[in-house]
């Protein structure tokens, strides 16, 4: 049964600064290099005429680095393909749909994100649903992935804040 997770991260930058970073190829290449994955690629980045952004990345971890709960259901290296489709900034906000898959595994992630202004910066609110269709261990893996999402969101927030400061 799929599990949903709600989380949020606060940024020092404005919605416009963060959204601009999300549309910058150099931002993604640097972010992926700092991701901790054994291999990370920017598969595509497309900026629409309206200011929307569509980004697809793949991050791979070697089999010997996978946590035990994941290694139970997945043999070999594990790749995670992630797509974020951001709307243009409208009325001070931007929204995104996020999809994630593990090729060859019965696991998916889907979610929505809202980037909105706060008094001192911006806030990203993210709701994700994780589904692992494996009898008996699927729920355990879903909970593990949900816990990892919080750390990932924090790491991405820290990277983005530092990147904006360095590139403003």
- Nearest one of 55, 30, 57 to 42, comparing CA atoms: 57
pLDDT tens-place string over residues 102-133: 898 888 999 999 999 998 899 999 999 999 88
pLDDT tens-place string over residues 43-95: 999 999 999 999 999 999 888 887 777 777 778 888 999 999 999 999 999 99
CATH number at residue 90: 3.30.530.20
Domain span at residue 135? 3-167
In this structure, how many other beta carbons lie within 10 angstroms of the beta carbon of residue 31?
A: 20
- 73 close to 141: Cβ distance less than 8 angstroms: yes
Alpha helices in 9-137 (DSSP H): 15-22, 25-33, 68-71
The whole-model pTM stands at 0.90
Overall number of domains in the chain: 1
pLDDT value, residue 83: 98
Cα–Cα distance between 48 and 50 in angstroms, integer?
A: 5
């Amino acid at each position: 049964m799929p599990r949903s997770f709600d989380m949020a991260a606060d940024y020092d930058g404005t919605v416009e600064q963060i959204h601009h970073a999300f549309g910058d190829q150099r931002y993604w290449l640097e972010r992926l290099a700092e991701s901790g994955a054994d291999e990370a690629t920017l598969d595509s980045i497309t900026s629409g005429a309206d200011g929307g952004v569509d980004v697809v990345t793949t991050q791979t971890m070697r089999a010997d680095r996978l946590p035990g709960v994941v290694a139970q259901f997945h043999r070999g290296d594990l790749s995670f393909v992630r797509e974020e489709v951001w709307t243009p900034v409208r009325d001070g906000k931007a929204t995104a749909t996020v999809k994630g898959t593990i090729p060859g595994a019965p696991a998916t992630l889907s979610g929505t994100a809202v980037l909105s202004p706060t008094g001192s910066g911006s806030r990203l609110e993210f709701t994700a649903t994780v589904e692992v269709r494996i009898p008996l261990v699927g729920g355990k893996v879903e909970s593990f992935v949900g816990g990892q999402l919080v750390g990932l969101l924090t790491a991405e927030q820290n990277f983005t804040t530092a990147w904006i400061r360095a590139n403003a």
